[in-house]
């Protein structure tokens, strides 16, 4: 899954398919992450009036980029992306090394 979160210098956080090339970040199908309650986040379309849902920004406007938690990436994918979700790993699925 290519879903990342980009945080701009103004504090805005956008989730979407984010790629970096030559000092520019391209954000496809971006959604703004907004707090909607105590320990809850929501998402609303970011720049929905962009013709192809793709926006490119200069790296000078970006604080950092990171991979979101699986639950957040799944929520994005369900609402704005392909609809595919990554299943959670069960404790029994995890292998302990050296045991």
Rounded Cα distance, 42 and 44, in Å? 7
DSSP assignment letter at 85:
-
* pLDDT over 60 (residue 92): no
Q: pLDDT (tens digit, 9 = 90+) per residue, 58-85? A: 999 999 999 999 999 999 999 887 665 6
Per-residue buried b or exposed e for 58-80, using 16+ beta carbons within 10 Å of the residue's own CB = eeeebeebeebeeebbbbbbeeb
Q: What percentage of the chain carries pLDDT values higher than 90? A: 61
């Amino acid at each position: 899954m290519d879903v990342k979160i980009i945080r701009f210098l103004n504090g805005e956080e956008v989730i979407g398919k984010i790629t970096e090339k030559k000092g520019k970040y391209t954000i496809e199908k971006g959604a703004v992450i907004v707090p909607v309650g105590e320990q809850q986040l929501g998402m609303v379309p970011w720049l929905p009036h962009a013709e192809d849902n793709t926006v490119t920004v200069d790296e000078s406007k970006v604080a950092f980029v990171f991979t979101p938690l699986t639950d957040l990436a799944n929520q994005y994918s369900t609402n704005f992306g392909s609809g595919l979700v990554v299943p959670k790993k069960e404790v029994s699925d995890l292998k302990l090394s050296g045991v």
